[in-house]
């Protein structure tokens, strides 16, 4: 496996297509258009709007080197699908590649027998070798022959994606590599069925040697993101993903206790677990569908076999999402497997799966499913809105609870939902007012609960657990502990929020999000707008990044010296405990590291 390259501190310039006070994107009227691009440390990367004309499509960045040599248009970078833009017929595609020298580039979009170009109004996109620049300018997209004019594009406003605490920045580079190695080591262990992703290799005290549908989907999503970015074309990574698909597709037809796709876990040989358990867990099919769709688009973008997508992935995707359509409004167990009811987290991942699925179905000519998925996603969004408590100023975790733990409503799963399931449309996204407020409520619920959060060093943040009433200690019941993945989730949310504000061009403090911003700077008042490119904005995001890194510092402080992370660490002594090297813990670490680098997993 090839390791990730060093995480870079990036200075860039942006003109945003977002309104200053909205986090919802506005798509172009052309078929393809560059949204932003960055050239830093010899790496060119960016995001492109692509109209979803047909499922099979190829998007290519073509560039001239520093001497303005196009190499007969042979200098190319393949773009890859990133995510659908909700309520539109457009998608985000991203590109990233090491480029020793570059002067300018344009984008070519091949689809359905036609070719479209974005050449920045015949000016191409100019790249400065002396500074890191991210630019979005006015463009003209046509099917005309490519030109190579050298007019300079215009940009206004600047800011830097904050690097945060330098000690944490250095540590997290190595930790990401360690976590990737451990994560992959927990997949396909000897004697298991092909594609088995063990939640942990621990077989006793506790026994986590099972393939959870949820955990596996979230882990595989991180691996697909690797294949979509830094490990593009890597054959071993591709095989790991295809193995996961094989195991998952087989599990869909296994006989299960619940006789449904919401069966939570499977044995190493691929058979279903038949012991007593909290079932069904209906977030799993939605998460699996989202990961399959992400893989389908990435695989095709890299020249993969379309028959594999239509013959293997599509039927599995439709089975999962049809199940979601038919079962979203009925109660199920939550992601912690303890409460039967209707859950914010479950609904969020369902909405995302259906929105992704509607685009996938449309691209594959299934207008009936596309319409059904879109309609159901809208109904789910309406239900999700009911979880917001204006009087308490946070998103509550569950409704219509019929059994399980009684909670006040604070739960780290709401934060995880924003990180994993939001779509960049401002709907409970990490940088949205309601999720910023919820992050404050969740953190405050733990700040004085755990002994490790009292009298701590100033560089440490608060350790975060699942929910305050938790009694699961990692191998039995007494008192719940902080979890590595929950603590990382807060830091990841902060960095994702910065990414949103940068794209929006500003962020405004109001009565809902005021508590969050006053945690950063107590002098901030409601009504203040921080605008991209100003010193006040730069100071704000720098301080938010430093606050985020305090959560990562907690993880660093309480992990094992070799980078090993089990499920939990003691609420009093801070020592690692529970299932050793929880695969989800390491996948969450990688996701957090990507967010800190300004390239979050979508």
Say what angle helices 535-558 and 583-596 make with each other, to 10 degrees. 160
DSSP string, 55-67: SSEEEEEEEE-TT
Given a cut of 50, whether residue 115 has pLDDT beyond it is yes
d(CA 398, CA 555) in angstroms, rounded, equals: 27
Active site residue 334: yes
Q: List, for residues 299-340, the tens digit of each pLDDT value.
A: 998 999 999 999 999 999 999 999 999 999 999 999 999 999
**Coil, strand, or helix at residue 164?**
coil
CB atoms within 10 A of CB 523: 7
d(CA 86, CA 355) in angstroms, rounded, equals: 6
**Coil, strand, or helix at residue 256?**
coil
End-to-end CA distance of the chain: 22
Residues 71, 87: contact at Cβ < 8 Å?
no
d(CA 297, CA 113) in angstroms, rounded, equals: 19
Residues 294, 302: contact at Cβ < 8 Å?
no
d(CA 89, CA 48) in angstroms, rounded, equals: 14
- Average of per-residue pLDDT across 267-296: 98
Quick one: pLDDT at residue 160? 64
DSSP string, 272-322: BP-SS-----THHHHHHHHHHHHHHHHHHHTT--HHHIIIIIHHHHHHHHH
Residues linked to residue 49 through DSSP beta bridges, in sequence order: 33, 92
Residues 280, 260: contact at Cβ < 8 Å?
yes
**What would the two tokens of residue 396 be?**
């509550």
Residues 25, 31: contact at Cβ < 8 Å?
no
d(CA 119, CA 148) in angstroms, rounded, equals: 8
- Average of per-residue pLDDT across 196-222: 98
- Average of per-residue pLDDT across 74-100: 86
339 Cβ neighbours under 8 A, 6+ residues apart: 333, 398, 401, 403, 404, 405, 407
Quick one: pLDDT at residue 567? 98
**Coil, strand, or helix at residue 409?**
coil
- Average of per-residue pLDDT across 266-284: 98
Tell me whether residue 150 is exposed, middle or buried, using C-beta atoms within 10 angstroms of its C-beta: 0 to 12, 13 to 18, 19 or more: exposed
* Banded model confidence at residue 120, pLDDT cuts 50, 70, 90: confident
How does 461-497 read in b/e, with b if 16+ C-beta sit within 10 Å? Answer: bbbbbbbbebebbbbeeeebbbbbbbbbbbbbbbbbb
- Average of per-residue pLDDT across 103-122: 85
Catalytic residue among 87, 337, 521, 542: 337
Quick one: pLDDT at residue 18? 34
Instruction: Give the pairing of strands 32-40 and 133-134.
Output: antiparallel
Higher pLDDT pick, 495 / 53: 495
d(CA 258, CA 260) in angstroms, rounded, equals: 5
Share of the chain above pLDDT 90, in %: 75
Residues 151, 578: contact at Cβ < 8 Å?
no
Q: List, for residues 508-557, the tens digit of each pLDDT value.
A: 999 999 999 999 999 999 999 999 989 999 999 999 999 999 999 999 99
Q: List, for residues 557-593, the tens digit of each pLDDT value.
A: 999 999 999 999 999 999 999 999 999 999 999 999 9
d(CA 361, CA 476) in angstroms, rounded, equals: 44
Active site residue 337: yes
Q: List, for residues 184-203, the tens digit of each pLDDT value.
A: 999 999 999 999 999 999 99
Q: List, for residues 131-177, the tens digit of each pLDDT value.
A: 444 444 343 333 333 222 222 222 233 446 899 999 999 999 999 99
Residue 451 DSSP symbol: G
Tell me whether residue 534 is exposed, middle or buried, using C-beta atoms within 10 angstroms of its C-beta: 0 to 12, 13 to 18, 19 or more: middle
d(CA 336, CA 455) in angstroms, rounded, equals: 30
Q: List, for residues 494-507, the tens digit of each pLDDT value.
A: 999 999 999 899 99
Given a cut of 50, whether residue 14 has pLDDT beyond it is no
Share of the chain above pLDDT 70, in %: 90
Instruction: Give the pairing of strands 568-569 and 576-577.
Output: antiparallel
d(CA 280, CA 322) in angstroms, rounded, equals: 16
Catalytic residue among 51, 263, 334, 356: 334
Say what angle helices 433-447 and 484-504 make with each other, to 10 degrees. 150
d(CA 224, CA 231) in angstroms, rounded, equals: 9
Quick one: pLDDT at residue 129? 56
The pTM assigned to this predicted structure is: 0.79
Torsion of CA 141, 147, 150, 153, to 10 degrees: 0
Residues 395, 389: contact at Cβ < 8 Å?
yes
Q: List, for residues 399-416, the tens digit of each pLDDT value.
A: 999 999 999 999 999 999
| Neighbouring C-alpha atoms within 13 Å toward the C-beta of 264 | 17
* Residue 42 main-chain phi, psi, to 5 deg: 80, 15
d(CA 179, CA 172) in angstroms, rounded, equals: 10
Residues 184, 176: contact at Cβ < 8 Å?
no
């Amino acid at each position: 496996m090839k390791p990730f390259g060093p995480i870079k501190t990036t200075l860039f310039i942006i003109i945003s297509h977002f309104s200053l006070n909205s986090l919802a994107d506005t798509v172009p009227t052309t078929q393809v258009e560059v949204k932003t691009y960055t050239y830093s440390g010899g790496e060119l990367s960016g995001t492109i709007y692509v109209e979803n004309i047909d499922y099979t499509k190829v998007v290519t960045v073509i560039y001239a080197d520093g001497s303005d040599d196009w190499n007969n248009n042979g200098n190319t970078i393949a773009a890859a699908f990133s995510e659908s833009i909700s309520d539109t017929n457009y998608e985000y595609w991203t590109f990233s590649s090491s480029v020793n020298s570059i002067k300018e580039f344009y984008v070519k979009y091949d689809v359905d027998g036609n070719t479209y170009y974005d050449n920045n109004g015949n000016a191409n996109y100019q790249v400065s070798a002396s500074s890191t620049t991210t630019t979005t300018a006015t463009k003209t997209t046509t099917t005309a022959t490519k030109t190579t004019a050298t007019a300079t594009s215009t940009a206004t406003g600047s800011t830097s994606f904050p690097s945060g605490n330098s000690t944490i920045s250095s540590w997290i580079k190595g930790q990401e590599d360690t976590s990737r190695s451990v994560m992959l080591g927990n997949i396909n262990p000897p004697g298991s069925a092909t594609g088995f992703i063990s939640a942990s290799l621990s077989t006793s005290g506790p026994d986590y040697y099972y393939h959870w549908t949820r955990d596996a989907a979230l882990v595989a999503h991180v691996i697909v993101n690797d294949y979509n970015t830094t490990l593009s074309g890597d054959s071993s990574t591709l095989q790991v993903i295809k193995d996961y698909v094989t195991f998952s597709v087989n599990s869909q037809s296994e006989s299960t206790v619940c006789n449904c796709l919401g069966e939570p876990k499977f044995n190493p040989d691929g058979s279903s677990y038949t012991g007593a358990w909290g079932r069904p867990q209906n977030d799993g099919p939605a998460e699996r569908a989202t990961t399959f769709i992400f893989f389908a688009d990435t695989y095709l973008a890299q020249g993969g076999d379309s028959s594999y997508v239509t013959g293997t992935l599509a039927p599995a995707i439709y089975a999962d999402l049809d199940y979601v359509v038919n079962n979203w409004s009925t109660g199920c167990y939550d992601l912690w497997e303890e409460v039967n009811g209707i859950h914010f987290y479950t609904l969020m991942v369902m909405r995302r799966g259906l929105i992704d699925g509607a685009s996938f179905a449309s691209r594959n000519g299934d207008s009936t499913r596309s319409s059904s998925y879109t309609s159901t996603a809208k109904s789910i969004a309406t239900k999700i809105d009911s979880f917001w408590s204006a009087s308490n100023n946070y998103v509550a975790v569950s409704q219509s609870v019929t059994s399980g733990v009684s909670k006040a409503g604070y739960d780290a799963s709401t934060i995880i939902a924003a990180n994993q399931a939001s779509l960049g449309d401002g709907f409970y996204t990490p940088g949205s007012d309601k999720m910023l407020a919820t992050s404050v409520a969740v953190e405050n619920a733990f700040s004085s609960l755990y002994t490790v959060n009292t009298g701590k060093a100033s560089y440490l943040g608060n350790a975060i657990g699942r929910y305050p009433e938790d009694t699961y200690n990692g191998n039995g019941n007494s008192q719940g502990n902080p979890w590595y993945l929950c603590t990382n989730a807060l830091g990841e949310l902060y960095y994702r929020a910065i990414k949103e504000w940068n794209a929006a061009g500003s962020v405004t403090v109001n009565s809902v999000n005021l508590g969050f911003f006053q945690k950063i700077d107590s002098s901030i008042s409601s009504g203040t707008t921080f605008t991209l490119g100003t010193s006040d904005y730069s100071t704000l995001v720098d301080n938010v990044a430093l606050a985020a890194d305090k959560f990562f510092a907690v993880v660093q402080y309480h992990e094992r010296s070799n980078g090993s992370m089990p499920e939990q660490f003691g609420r009093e002594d801070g020592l690692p405990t529970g299932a050793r090297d929880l695969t989800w813990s390491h996948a969450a670490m990688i996701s957090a590291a990507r967010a800190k680098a300004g390239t979050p997993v979508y």
